[in-house]
Structure 1
Amino acid sequence: MKIKRTNIQSELSRIEREENVRILYACESGSRAWGFPSQDSDYDVRFLYVHEPDWYLSVFDRRDVIERPISDLLDVNGWDLRKALRLFRKSNPPLLEWLQSPIVYREMPEATNEIRSLSAPSFSAKACTFHYLHMARGNYRDYLQGDTVRSKKYFYVLRPLLACAWIERFGSLPPMAFDTLKDTLLEPGELRTAVDELLERKKSGIELKAEPRIEVINQYLETQISYYEQQAPRMPDTGQSVDDRLDPLFISVLRAAWKET
């Protein structure tokens, strides 16, 4: 089943009305943004939003996420801007990835350009390497252990491990596109051929179900997980403090979002 862009826009507008918020930015995350969706892949829509200014004038903490149940392949949830800005202090990889997604559904450029300007200075090689390693290790443990495995899950271990390799080599946030990671970091040979063949099958729409494990890929994954378990603690903590920019940016974006009311 295919979701139209207009369906996603309608859902975002409905959220704005029901929650009385302004959506600053909405994008695709997950396999569609990474470049390897299958026929049954969800549309993973993620967004940043702000409430009206008075909503923030409370002594009580309030819920800072909006989540919608998955329906018709549409998975939509978002973070309040204040939550997102706090996460820049931790060099949060999902947030950094959202802001460079190649598929954008909605954007207030005056706001998102300011938010995006925090990405480079807040990027921490150590924090992001640990994040991707944790993702790779968990997916490998859960999906790729037996003689028969769910083949599409290879990409959910390959991509974070290639992200670790990108950070180690270039010292920057990895690109979203799996093809870019693969073409840059995997040398021609048996491993690259196996990955290319699997990727071609997935992109063609063939459903990758339970199949015999691909030994050359499993060996690579095990080696890389072991390597980055040793290497991650040695990665430089390159993130700079952006604390002095957070309050002014929050106030500026909040005013811009509601200036017409």
Structure 2
Amino acid sequence: MTAPLDMDLGPVVAEQPDPLLFATVSGAHLYGFPSKDSDVDLRGVHLLPVAELVGLHEPDETRSLMWDRDGTEMDLVTHDLRKFVRLMLRRNGYVLEQLLSPLVVHTGAAHGELVALAPGVLTVHHAHHYRGFASTQWRLFEKTGELKPLLYTFRTLLTGIRLMRSGEVQAHLPTLLDEVAAPAYLPDLIAAKADAEHGLASGVDKDRARADVEALHLVLDESQQTSRLPDEASVHAALGALVVRVRLEG
């Protein structure tokens, strides 16, 4: 497992009721600012049998499981392959970050095919996802004063800017610090977050942070306007064929 975690998560994969096509680590570990008490966010794709899709009952397309393992809270969320691909095609940056996470717990051929098709899903309109997510996290920061939503605000804006400029889905905040207009105090905020998952952003100048967030919104707007990303995804047919083939192969 290529992840900053010292636990074997293989048994978690084996215990799932249907095969997992992949599972990766998301959340704070992926974003580069985990705390000593952060939970482990596992995300992935399961494969429902054909019988569950053609029967009378609605299939269980999304599954969530939370449990405690040796004092660490584990959070596993998986989607059936068809639902996950539909989310990919809805300009959802969040699921692409999960798919492309370098913190891989379980993988296989289908995972590799999805990763290979991911560039054909990216569009200039993914900026809307990151713009909206950043605004939501900023409102949460203003309400709670917690450091976590403040870091999420900066992370999502910088991820969106990098995507618009380079076509790269990069969710790791420390890697994004060299992005144009990234505030110089972000490393200190990342270091402070390591002490407590829900710690307050004490010492943060909220007026300065607000100005920096507004400036990054403008950079994201400008980056979207000049982006070379296309207007539409180009891999609908290929993804559709993948879903059918993998399902029938079981």
TM (normalized to structure 1)? 0.80
Q: Quick one: distance in 2 between partners of 1:231 and 1:196?
A: 24
1:82 is matched with 82
- The answer as to whether partners of 1:48 and 1:84 remain within 8 angstroms in 2 is yes
Question: How big is the shift at 1:216?
Answer: 2.9
Q: Quick one: distance in 1 between partners of 2:34 and 2:241?
A: 39
**What SS does structure 1 have at the residue aligned with 2:15?**
helix
Q: CA distance change for structure 1 residues 87 and 212 in 2, over 3 Å: closer, same or farther?
A: same
1:169 is matched with 165
Aligned residues: 241
1:216 is matched with 208
With 241-250 and 208-217 compared, the bigger mean Cα shift is at 208-217
Opposite residue 22 of structure 2, the aligned amino acid is Y
Question: How big is the shift at 1:209?
Answer: 2.5
1:137 is matched with 135
Which residue of the other structure, out of 237, 241, 247, is the alignment partner of 1:244?
Answer: 237
Give me the CA root mean square deviation: 2.8
- Flag the structure with larger Rg: 1
Q: CA distance change for structure 1 residues 94 and 55 in 2, over 3 Å: closer, same or farther?
A: same
Q: CA distance change for structure 1 residues 50 and 221 in 2, over 3 Å: closer, same or farther?
A: same
Q: CA distance change for structure 1 residues 154 and 103 in 2, over 3 Å: closer, same or farther?
A: same
The unaligned stretches of length 5 or more in structure 1 are none
Question: How big is the shift at 1:104?
Answer: 0.7
**By percentage of residues, which structure has more helix?**
1
Provide the identity percentage.
22
Please list, as runs of the form range in 1=range in 2, the aligned pairs for 1:99-248 lying within 5 A after superposition: 99-108=99-108, 110-126=109-125, 128-144=126-142, 149-170=145-166, 172-186=167-181, 191-192=183-184, 194-203=185-194, 205=195, 208-214=199-205, 215-225=207-217, 228=220, 237-248=230-241
Question: How big is the shift at 1:151?
Answer: 2.4
Opposite residue 130 of structure 2, the aligned amino acid is Y
Question: How big is the shift at 1:22?
Answer: 0.5
TM (normalized to structure 2)? 0.83
The unaligned stretches of length 5 or more in structure 2 are none
Q: Quick one: distance in 1 between partners of 2:116 and 2:64?
A: 26
**What SS does structure 2 have at the residue aligned with 1:69?**
strand
- The answer as to whether partners of 2:81 and 2:243 remain within 8 angstroms in 1 is yes
Q: Quick one: distance in 2 between partners of 1:231 and 1:179?
A: 20
Q: Quick one: distance in 2 between partners of 1:198 and 1:210?
A: 8
CA offset digits 1:102-122 (Å, max 9, x no partner): 2111111x1111112221111
Which residue of the other structure, out of 4, 7, 14, is the alignment partner of 1:5?
Answer: 7
1:94 is matched with 94
Q: CA distance change for structure 1 residues 88 and 197 in 2, over 3 Å: closer, same or farther?
A: closer
Q: Quick one: distance in 2 between partners of 1:33 and 1:81?
A: 22
- The answer as to whether partners of 1:167 and 1:173 remain within 8 angstroms in 2 is yes
Question: How big is the shift at 1:233?
Answer: 8.3
Question: How big is the shift at 1:123?
Answer: 0.6
